Amino acid sequence: EDSHLHHAPDYLSFAELAALPVAGGTAINTLLFGPVPLREGMVVLTQGTGGVSCAVIQIATALGVTVIVTSSSDEKLETAKKLGATHGINYRTNPNWEEEVIRLTNGKGVDHAVEIGGAQSIEKSVRATKQGGLISVVGILSEDRAVNLVGPILFGAKIGGLYSVPSKLSLD
């Protein structure tokens, strides 16, 4: 008998069970094994309340990190806070959410932004990230469009693309 296997809880469907290692693995890889591993006292920004973001919230909170989350719904933001998020920003009622992130961080910006939105939000994530901070691109949910990142990147933010599953090329 393998001691590393556990019975799945009855309340989760097979689809939900299959999503756990994908969302959780992406969050762990992004937060702990990237170029700037997460440490207690840091501030993380994540977008939305999907699987990866919910895993980011829970893992970061367990490590003593302040978590700021954006969402289109106050109801979803309340769920995020129950999972451990410190602050929630509704991007529909607060379209300049990056300014609120700067305010919440006393003008500094976040240490690590977990970018999920893509072209619609990457510029705001760069503005919300402190100089020397990290932006991990783990999702692209919006339509592609040209974005100008040269100025914000020249003034200090770093972007790192982190993925939870190796590409086919790296497996060959």
Provide DSSP, 30-95. Answer: HHHSSSS---TT-EEEEESSSHHHHHHHHHHHHTT-EEEEEES-HHHHHHHHHHT-SEEEETTT-T
pLDDT at residue 158, rounded to an integer: 56
pLDDT at residue 132, rounded to an integer: 82
pTM summary value = 0.80
pLDDT at residue 29, rounded to an integer: 87
pLDDT at residue 23, rounded to an integer: 85
pLDDT at residue 119, rounded to an integer: 63
pLDDT at residue 37, rounded to an integer: 85
Which residues of the chain are under the pLDDT cut of 70? Answer: 1-2, 117-119, 139-172
